[in-house]
Structure 1
Amino acid sequence: MSILEGVEGVLAMFEQGRHEITFSDVIDELDLAKSSASRLLAQMVRYRLLELQPSTRRYRPGALLIRAAQAATQAHPFDEQCREILAALSDSTGFTAYLSMLDGIDTVVLQRLNGSNPVQVLSPPGARRPAFTTAMGRVLLSRLPEPEFSTRYGDADCNLPEAPAGCPATVAELRERVASARRERSAIAVNEGMPGIGAVATTLADPLSGDVRGLCLSFTAMQVSQAQAQALRDTLVRAVAPLGQRIGDPVWLHAADTAPLL
């Protein structure tokens, strides 16, 4: 394993949603000898990619990595515009808000905004979930051209892996859910993938960069009735539509029913 492969492997462990990792984690998950793991981690600490906590002997992302991530966030005003919408919605509803992207067939959390409600649905930045199991994932998949969707999921008759209760079990069923999300420019999922959890989601795309972002409000199923979830979805869509029109996102510019939402 080259040094860069080792660095990638260690950083990918944080991508899974962890805040800290241990020496044993690196040995076990990267299948490294103790001496190799020790050298790798020492080099990453030296160059500020990791920070070693003396009291716990655990490793966290280092200052250089954090500053690079902050700079990347600041360099994308589109993400900041999305964040402003989510912050306002989280403040007004009390629910947890998420900004996410699609990576292959997974969604990845980019930012999380905690609401004021005493019961929160919390997934850290970097957390991944299979896209077919969530409202966020299905509405992000609705942005894919048909050939790209087929490349990622295969034939309609294929079964989806370990489909949780309430989720599509086959690619054909997923296509139907994605088509619905495309028509409605949004999606709702309650007690799907994660029992007791609900979410409403929509998307925005930046025509300049090509970046597509999912915007989501998440709640516990006992907090929100089906009718309330529908109303919450409508609130999210109304909040997103003006920005979509302003930046020239085709989904929001050309949808026949955009005007009544404003």
Structure 2
Amino acid sequence: MTTVPGTQVIGRVAAVLRAVSVAMPRGLGTSAVATATGLSRPTAHRLLSSLAAEGFLDHDPLTGRWVPGPELYLLGSVAAERYDITGLARPIVRSLAEATGESAFLSARRGDETVCLLREDGSFPIRSHVLYEGIRFPLGVASAGLAILAFLPDPTVEAYLESTDLAAFGDSHSPRRLRTRIAETRAAGWSINPGLLVEGSWGMGAAVFDASGQPAWALSLTGIEARFSRDRRPELGRLLLEHAHRLTQALRGR
């Protein structure tokens, strides 16, 4: 297999930038970046300093933490013209939160992960804080990632399950159990996470499809277990699917 020159460095830089961005708004210290990326501390510091010199990161000398810099903002502003759907999605996410009373989210597929882009809180005063804007999960872990994974083509799903180790998230994320949950999601149309990440914090999700019919985003709801009773889940699922369809249609009409 031929290795493209420089790919290791690019991979490390990408890992550093992701680690810092996920830790917003507080940022990360050098040691925390090294831990998050699996790099040695000297290597992490060298990359962080180089990125800061180019304007991609900033360093707070008082706290010792690294945060995204102005160049990332400028590049992101340009990329947003093609990839940002939050303006279109926000009213729909807000409508979902208002209709259910729960916290509603929009997440995007990014490779083998989902990234939370939007959060709108409903009227119910007790909330789950497992999800927040910027957090990433592997596909199949949170309800949004399960909803997306379930509607990918079978060969893609199998290749992912065979190559991905989700043992860190517990036995409920073994390939065998995920296959069962994928089948259940396909049958219902929506996914459910019955407190598998944090005990007592439940979630449900529905896929949002791009112009080619692939699941590229997901809407999801999170809340306490009592709010996701067996009797209420069909209604929550119906609302999720209704809002996911609205967003899918809106994206196709852009």
Is this a same-fold pair by TM over 0.5?
A: yes
Match of 1:18 in 2: 23
Name the aligned partner's letter for residue 229 of structure 1.
R
For the structure 1 residues 118 and 135, does the alpha-carbon distance in structure 2 shift closer, same or farther, using more than 3 Å as the test? same
Match of 1:101 in 2: 108
Further displaced range: 196-205 or 114-123: 114-123
What is the rounded CA distance, in whole Å, between the counterparts of 1:61 and 1:159 in structure 2? 29
For the structure 1 residues 143 and 82, does the alpha-carbon distance in structure 2 shift closer, same or farther, using more than 3 Å as the test? farther
Measured after TM superposition, the shift of residue 208 of structure 1 is: 5.6
What is the rounded CA distance, in whole Å, between the counterparts of 1:96 and 1:78 in structure 2? 19
Identity %: 24
Measured after TM superposition, the shift of residue 4 of structure 1 is: 4.2
Question: 3-state DSSP class of the match of 1:133?
Answer: coil
What is the rounded CA distance, in whole Å, between the counterparts of 1:58 and 1:117 in structure 2? 35
Measured after TM superposition, the shift of residue 23 of structure 1 is: 2.3
Listed one character per residue, the Cα deviations across residues 5-46 of structure 1 (whole Å, up to 9, x for unaligned) are 55323213135x32211122345542142xx55543333223
1:228 to 225, 232, 245: 232
Structure 2 counterparts to residues 23-42 of structure 1, below 5 A: 23-27=30-34, 29-33=38-42, 37-42=44-49
Question: 3-state DSSP class of the match of 1:232?
Answer: helix
Measured after TM superposition, the shift of residue 86 of structure 1 is: 0.8
Match of 2:118 in 1: 111
Name the aligned partner's letter for residue 195 of structure 2.
N
Report which of the two structures shows the higher radius of gyration computed on alpha carbons.
1
Q: Contact conserved, 1:109 with 1:127, CA < 8 A, in 2?
A: yes
Question: 3-state DSSP class of the match of 2:28?
Answer: coil
What is the rounded CA distance, in whole Å, between the counterparts of 1:175 and 1:92 in structure 2? 31
For the structure 1 residues 211 and 48, does the alpha-carbon distance in structure 2 shift closer, same or farther, using more than 3 Å as the test? farther
Measured after TM superposition, the shift of residue 81 of structure 1 is: 2.7
Match of 2:15 in 1: 9
What is the rounded CA distance, in whole Å, between the counterparts of 2:113 and 2:218 in structure 1? 12
What is the rounded CA distance, in whole Å, between the counterparts of 2:252 and 2:73 in structure 1? 32
Match of 2:3 in 1: none
What is the rounded CA distance, in whole Å, between the counterparts of 2:160 and 2:125 in structure 1? 38
TM-score relative to the length of structure 1: 0.75
Q: Contact conserved, 2:147 with 2:190, CA < 8 A, in 1?
A: yes
Structure 1: stretches of 5+ with no match in the other structure: 250-262
Name the aligned partner's letter for residue 133 of structure 1.
V
1:129 matched to 2:137? yes
Measured after TM superposition, the shift of residue 215 of structure 1 is: 0.8
Measured after TM superposition, the shift of residue 100 of structure 1 is: 1.6
2:222 to 214, 218, 232: 218
Q: Contact conserved, 1:107 with 1:136, CA < 8 A, in 2?
A: yes
Measured after TM superposition, the shift of residue 118 of structure 1 is: 3.3
Q: Count the aligned residue pairs.
A: 242
2:167 to 154, 161, 175: 161
Name the aligned partner's letter for residue 56 of structure 1.
T
What is the rounded CA distance, in whole Å, between the counterparts of 1:43 and 1:159 in structure 2? 32
Match of 1:81 in 2: 88
For the structure 1 residues 169 and 74, does the alpha-carbon distance in structure 2 shift closer, same or farther, using more than 3 Å as the test? same
For the structure 1 residues 60 and 97, does the alpha-carbon distance in structure 2 shift closer, same or farther, using more than 3 Å as the test? same
Measured after TM superposition, the shift of residue 105 of structure 1 is: 4.5
Q: Contact conserved, 1:82 with 1:215, CA < 8 A, in 2?
A: no
For the structure 1 residues 234 and 61, does the alpha-carbon distance in structure 2 shift closer, same or farther, using more than 3 Å as the test? same
Name the aligned partner's letter for residue 110 of structure 1.
L
Measured after TM superposition, the shift of residue 209 of structure 1 is: 9.3
Measured after TM superposition, the shift of residue 232 of structure 1 is: 1.6
Aligned Cα root-mean-square deviation (Å)? 3.3
What is the rounded CA distance, in whole Å, between the counterparts of 2:45 and 2:52 in structure 1? 11
Q: Contact conserved, 1:188 with 1:233, CA < 8 A, in 2?
A: no
For the structure 1 residues 71 and 228, does the alpha-carbon distance in structure 2 shift closer, same or farther, using more than 3 Å as the test? farther
Q: Contact conserved, 1:191 with 1:221, CA < 8 A, in 2?
A: yes
What is the rounded CA distance, in whole Å, between the counterparts of 1:176 and 1:224 in structure 2? 20
Match of 1:200 in 2: 204
Q: Contact conserved, 1:135 with 1:187, CA < 8 A, in 2?
A: yes
